[in-house]
Chains A and B, each alone.
Chain A
Amino acid sequence: MSAPTLSLPETPLPAGADCLRQLTRKDFQTDQEVRWCPGCGDYAILTQVQKVLAGLGIPRHNFVFVSGIGCSSRFPYYVNTYGFHGIHGRAPAIATGVKCANPALSVWVVTGDGDGLSIGTNHLIHCLRRNLEVKVLLFNNRIYGLTKGQYSPTSEFGKRTKSSPLGTIEQPISPVLTALAAQATFVARTLYADPTHLAATVDAAARHRGAAFIEILQNCRVFNEGSFDEVADRASAEESRILLRHGEPIRFGKGGRRGLVMSKMEPAIVDLEAEPARTGDLLVHNARSESPALAALLAELEPPQFPTALGVFRQVERPTYDDLLMEQIRGALAKRGQPNLKALLNSGTTWEVE
């Protein structure tokens, strides 16, 4: 009879097991040739994620990377952990099963704008709202790359692509707003072009207890080159990015000379050099707020009127689905005693035939 355990039975570690020493990025590289296009933003993401994994103090064999379909979903093949390359859009559902079967695992979902926000939106939303302890990395390049250049659900309105030669007639979906609406307990945005910010954000997500969602802005060199140039460009980074820090006033620009205030229920930019008195009016970022209102407001800022907000929009604590699931199992066990198959099969009205 199997007694409920938080993880599958502990297996003895083989001599020289890599989990007994400090891991490095190299430990997470596979012998597989990486098949993304030259210059693809995914390379930078892969490198930073491998680095973060090595620093988490989690043995390599306890990681599981689950993906769907698309360029980003090739990710598990390049990470030397357990991996499951699933079917289009279903990675969060597969990951749900993995995590519930063995909550001791560190489960990661790698998805894209098409995979996660078109065919798999349903699963993504429900995975987040359940607060399953998984890390979701959504690579947003605003295009279908693997199928060679159709518009995606995050493509800008009017965008001309192979499947929209006259321009799209669809409003794009916002990954961060979707995650906030799903009540995800950790919602962040970062970009491929800033490895330090990317690594820090992934690290924060990994250490968050609960469903963590990161939109990673990523450039598709072949089918959507320059999609995020405004925010990715290093030279103008100070003006084009708001780096969110919990508890701090929202400022950007060289030396923090500009800031964000509310004006008639709308966000507005103030020039603090011209109006230093308005420093006190600045919006203060509060990622711990139970209300997603401020996070949503920040998520909606976009060029050309506003810089793009990067960092952690929301980080709150809630019980995780997998913890609650196991709590119910332990509770049933405490209430009803050790499971007894004979008693189960013989429950209810029974009778003997002689």
Chain B
Amino acid sequence: MEPCCSDDGRELRELQQSTVRFAGDSGDGMQLVGSQFADLASLSGCAIRSIPDFPSEIRAPAGSLAGVSGYQLNFGSEEVTTPGDAPFVLVAMNPAALKVSLPELQPGGLIIVDTDEFTPTNLTKAKYPANPLEDGSLEGYRVIPVAMTRLTEEATKASGLSGSARARCKNFFALGMTLWLYDQPLQPLLEWLMHKFRKNPAVMAANGASLRAGYNFANTTELLRVHYRVAPGNLPKGRYRRVTGNEAMALGLITAASKAGRPLLYASYPITPASDILHELSARKEFDVRVIQCEDEIAAACAALGGSFAGALGATGTSGPGLSLKTEALGLAVMTELPLVVINVQRAGPSTGMPTKTEQADLLMALYGRHGEAPLPVLAAATPADCFDIAFEAARLAIRYMTPVLVLSDSFLANSAEAFRIPDPDRLPDLRMPGPPPGSPDFAPYRRDPQTLARPWATPGTPGLEHRIGGLEKQDISGVVTYDSENHARMVELRARKIEGIAEAIPPAAVDGEPDGDLLVVGWGSTYGAIVAAVRQARMEGHAVSHLHLRHLNPLPKNLEVVLRRFRKILVPENNSGHLATLLRSRFLLPVKPLTKIEGRPFLIREIRNALEAELRP
């Protein structure tokens, strides 16, 4: 942090990246101002990565610790790959928000607080025995106390709104201060407010006034001597938007169905943290998205499969407990060899577990959690934006290989947002897969494509291809029910070979860094960002560390073993007890070392850094 220039007598420092956290009561509008700030940071060219922290209760008591809603944004150069280990700036709208967020704040970090909310009642609700603003417990941080509620009420008088309605605009006061602090312009936000509240001019005026007041307050107060300019990222050229993992997943499904020339049939049952996919798709009916909110998870999987039988691209989304319920239908999908995309947005388990917390503990279930020999492809998204590509890839494999495909996301990816380079749909692969022509004399339901081993997708409504499928074992080619032992062995083998053959159609494993060395970090899913950052830091310090991230977990890339064997040590960080490590050990008989974290939270960069250092110690 070197001072570089100044304006208005204030010092303007340049930062490579910075992490800010907006925290308040769930009614304080923290998600709104956080996401607006994320858009502004993006507009200034920064890479962004955000993570919300919602209360699990729908309406937790105001001012309580359980009711704190937070939005953390990490932004800056392309180094930004996670929402940030520790916020540099904390905006705390009440004592509870301060208490919940303080442990993660950087030493010396900046705290902006609304002093009006530090009342005896609120301090009690936050279980503070004494006012932390006065008892010296915040020494070591830079505290900016602001009578934010009163200043907001004052600044918005002209709007004509009631006092309490005006006070609700204080989130924009806080945002205004943050804009000044990070040397961001007001104009784009004022324009956004004009659009957002175009039907409610009084609210628009009040929020605008509050935003300006916050900005001006920060600009004039003696308390803030320094402000910051965060370096823009060096992102690849293109048009971008901000997406969460769930949004990207929904967009990927719509795009894939469209490129396949088929309706998307999405059947689902509401479950945290997958429901947003259902919401996104329900709002996109003009894309011929046939959304069915089913009576349960089982019905959702079965309806999606029925949809695929009838020629739609069937998809269903869920989280852990729901995947347990869908496993029987997954077996049926394996047996009937129909395309089906199943999205599992993992959450902390077992059972109901911690529905709003993240975990990666469904990997072995995804790979093996079905009775009988029931292999299917398993994919995992690495980042929120990657959810688009992974959904598209899942549909591609499902259609080309006539198979259910399991996609693993998780609560962290689902809710975290980042910049998404918008693809040109015209340049995405064509996923059309015509069925056999009507009346084909040589049609047989299990006559396979010699290359992919996929059976034909003959759909009801096609003359001359009437046939029956189901969960009973079928005679090879003819599809007639049979309990013949040799045929069963053959069909088991064919189904397995078909899935193994997908390795021919997926990219080889590619290492980020040197192709050989002391240590390879192998990850999958949402650990991507933290691993990238930790490995980059270690490499800058001259360590021979490389990173390999798996998006295809079944089948694994063909060259994986060769790649792994080029490294002396292999470390696998996972938010589970070591699922991928177990898989790699059993598959390749390699001494893979797991790094586990099962706390309902993603890895911090420094946690992986520390593990790397321990491994690299001679």
**Using a CB-CB cutoff of 8 Å, which residues 446-500 of chain B contact chain A?**
459-472, 480-481
Interface residues in chain B, defined as those with a beta carbon under 8 Å from any beta carbon in chain A: 39, 42-43, 45, 192, 233, 235-242, 251, 254-255, 257-258, 261-263, 265, 267, 284-290, 292, 294-296, 298-300, 302-312, 314, 328-329, 331-332, 336, 422-426, 437-439, 459-472, 480-481
Docked complex Cα distance between A345 and B425 (Å): 9
The answer on a CB contact under 8 Å between B471 and A353 is no
Docked complex Cα distance between A25 and B289 (Å): 37
The answer on a CB contact under 8 Å between B332 and A87 is yes
Nearest CB in chain A: distance from B68 CB, A? 27
Docked complex Cα distance between A226 and B241 (Å): 69
Nearest CB in chain A: distance from B3 CB, A? 28
Residues of A with C-beta under 8 A to B468: 30, 76-77, 82-85
Contact of B258 among A1, A12, A69, A84 (CB under 8 A): A1
The answer on a CB contact under 8 Å between B287 and A126 is no
Q: Which 4 A-B pairs have the closest CB atoms?
A: A85-B470, A97-B306, A14-B439, A83-B468
Docked complex Cα distance between A59 and B287 (Å): 29
Nearest CB in chain A: distance from B175 CB, A? 15
Nearest CB in chain B: distance from A287 CB, A? 27
The answer on a CB contact under 8 Å between B422 and A2 is no
Contact of A345 among B242, B251, B296, B300 (CB under 8 A): B251
The answer on a CB contact under 8 Å between A344 and B254 is yes
The answer on a CB contact under 8 Å between B285 and A98 is no
Docked complex Cα distance between A351 and B298 (Å): 41
25 A-B residue pairs with Cβ-Cβ distance under 8 Å, sorted by A, are A2-B257, A11-B461, A13-B463, A14-B438, A14-B439, A19-B463, A66-B306, A76-B470, A82-B467, A84-B309, A85-B469, A90-B302, A93-B298, A93-B306, A94-B302, A96-B294, A96-B306, A97-B302, A100-B303, A126-B294, A332-B285, A344-B284, A345-B251, A352-B240, A353-B237
Q: A83-B468, A96-B292 are in contact. List 19 more A-B contacts (CB 8 A).
A: A2-B263, A11-B461, A14-B464, A19-B463, A77-B470, A85-B470, A93-B303, A94-B306, A98-B307, A100-B292, A101-B290, A101-B309, A126-B295, A331-B285, A342-B424, A345-B255, A348-B241, A348-B242, A353-B235
The answer on a CB contact under 8 Å between A17 and B464 is yes
Docked complex Cα distance between A27 and B197 (Å): 64
Docked complex Cα distance between A299 and B39 (Å): 63
The answer on a CB contact under 8 Å between A90 and B329 is yes
Nearest CB in chain B: distance from A299 CB, A? 23
A69: nearest chain-B partner, CB-CB? B471
Instruction: Digitize A46-71: 1 where CB-to-B-CB distance is under 8 Å, 0 elsewhere.
Output: 00000000000001111110110100
B388: nearest chain-A partner, CB-CB? A345
Instruction: Digitize A114-133: 1 where CB-to-B-CB distance is under 8 Å, 0 elsewhere.
Output: 00000000110110000000
Contact of B298 among A30, A90, A100, A350 (CB under 8 A): A90
Q: Which of A77, A101, A339 has the most CB of B within 10 A?
A: A101
Q: Inter-chain contact count A-B, CB under 8 Å?
A: 248
Contact of A329 among B233, B290, B465 (CB under 8 A): B290
Docked complex Cα distance between A83 and B461 (Å): 12
B481: nearest chain-A partner, CB-CB? A77
Docked complex Cα distance between A69 and B45 (Å): 58
Q: Given A94-B303, A100-B307, A101-B263, do A122 and B296 touch, yes or no (CB 8 Å)?
A: yes
Instruction: Digitize A323-354: 1 where CB-to-B-CB distance is under 8 Å, 0 elsewhere.
Output: 00100110111011101011011111111111
**Using a CB-CB cutoff of 8 Å, which residues 77-109 of chain A contact chain B?**
77, 80-87, 90, 92-102, 104-105
Docked complex Cα distance between A8 and B309 (Å): 12
Residues of B with C-beta under 8 A to A93: 294-295, 298-300, 302-303, 306
Docked complex Cα distance between A346 and B242 (Å): 10
Docked complex Cα distance between A354 and B235 (Å): 9
Residues of A with C-beta under 8 A to B466: 60-61, 80-82
The answer on a CB contact under 8 Å between A329 and B303 is no
In this assembly, does A147 line the interface, its C-beta being within 8 Å of a C-beta of chain B? no
Q: Given A86-B302, A332-B285, A341-B255, do A101 and B43 touch, yes or no (CB 8 Å)?
A: no
Nearest CB in chain A: distance from B230 CB, A? 16
The answer on a CB contact under 8 Å between B286 and A333 is yes
The answer on a CB contact under 8 Å between A82 and B302 is no
Residues of B with C-beta under 8 A to A62: 460-461
Interface SS of chain A: helix, strand, loop or mixed?
Answer: mixed
Residues of A with C-beta under 8 A to B332: 86-87
The answer on a CB contact under 8 Å between B438 and A102 is no
Nearest CB in chain A: distance from B126 CB, A? 34
Contact of A61 among B241, B267, B462 (CB under 8 A): B462
Nearest CB in chain A: distance from B302 CB, A? 4
The answer on a CB contact under 8 Å between B265 and A101 is yes
Q: Given A77-B481, A336-B286, A346-B239, do A97 and B425 touch, yes or no (CB 8 Å)?
A: no
The answer on a CB contact under 8 Å between B299 and A126 is yes
The answer on a CB contact under 8 Å between A7 and B292 is no
Nearest CB in chain B: distance from A130 CB, A? 9
Instruction: Digitize A207-228: 1 where CB-to-B-CB distance is under 8 Å, 0 elsewhere.
Output: 0000000000000000000000
B464: nearest chain-A partner, CB-CB? A14
Nearest CB in chain B: distance from A77 CB, A? 5
The answer on a CB contact under 8 Å between B240 and A353 is yes
Residues of A with C-beta under 8 A to B258: 1-2, 339, 341
The answer on a CB contact under 8 Å between A97 and B288 is no
Residues of A with C-beta under 8 A to B314: 97, 101
In this assembly, does A235 line the interface, its C-beta being within 8 Å of a C-beta of chain B? no
Docked complex Cα distance between A93 and B422 (Å): 36
The answer on a CB contact under 8 Å between B461 and A332 is no
Nearest CB in chain B: distance from A169 CB, A? 28
Docked complex Cα distance between A80 and B312 (Å): 22
The answer on a CB contact under 8 Å between B303 and A96 is yes
In this assembly, does A4 line the interface, its C-beta being within 8 Å of a C-beta of chain B? yes
Nearest CB in chain A: distance from B228 CB, A? 21
Nearest CB in chain B: distance from A101 CB, A? 4
Residues of A with C-beta under 8 A to B292: 96-97, 100, 325
In this assembly, does A32 line the interface, its C-beta being within 8 Å of a C-beta of chain B? yes
The answer on a CB contact under 8 Å between B240 and A351 is yes
The answer on a CB contact under 8 Å between B238 and A353 is yes
The answer on a CB contact under 8 Å between B463 and A59 is yes
B262: nearest chain-A partner, CB-CB? A2
The answer on a CB contact under 8 Å between B459 and A97 is no
The answer on a CB contact under 8 Å between A354 and B237 is yes
Docked complex Cα distance between A348 and B283 (Å): 14
Nearest CB in chain A: distance from B45 CB, A? 7
Docked complex Cα distance between A352 and B239 (Å): 4
The answer on a CB contact under 8 Å between B312 and A101 is yes
Residues of B with C-beta under 8 A to A351: 42-43, 239-241
Docked complex Cα distance between A141 and B615 (Å): 67
B287: nearest chain-A partner, CB-CB? A339
Residues of A with C-beta under 8 A to B192: 349
The answer on a CB contact under 8 Å between A94 and B305 is yes
B294: nearest chain-A partner, CB-CB? A93
Q: Given A76-B468, A341-B258, A348-B242, do A97 and B304 touch, yes or no (CB 8 Å)?
A: yes
In this assembly, does A166 line the interface, its C-beta being within 8 Å of a C-beta of chain B? no
Nearest CB in chain B: distance from A341 CB, A? 4
The answer on a CB contact under 8 Å between B302 and A87 is yes
Residues of B with C-beta under 8 A to A325: 290, 292
Residues of A with C-beta under 8 A to B306: 66, 84, 93-99, 101
Docked complex Cα distance between A122 and B235 (Å): 51
Docked complex Cα distance between A80 and B472 (Å): 18
The answer on a CB contact under 8 Å between A2 and B471 is no
In this assembly, does A274 line the interface, its C-beta being within 8 Å of a C-beta of chain B? no
Instruction: Digitize A1-38: 1 where CB-to-B-CB distance is under 8 Å, 0 elsewhere.
Output: 11110011001111001110000000000101000000
Nearest CB in chain A: distance from B459 CB, A? 6
Contact of B463 among A61, A101, A345 (CB under 8 A): A61
B338: nearest chain-A partner, CB-CB? A84
The answer on a CB contact under 8 Å between A61 and B310 is no
The answer on a CB contact under 8 Å between A7 and B241 is no
Nearest CB in chain A: distance from B312 CB, A? 4
Residues of B with C-beta under 8 A to A64: 309-310, 460
The answer on a CB contact under 8 Å between B241 and A101 is no
A14: nearest chain-B partner, CB-CB? B439
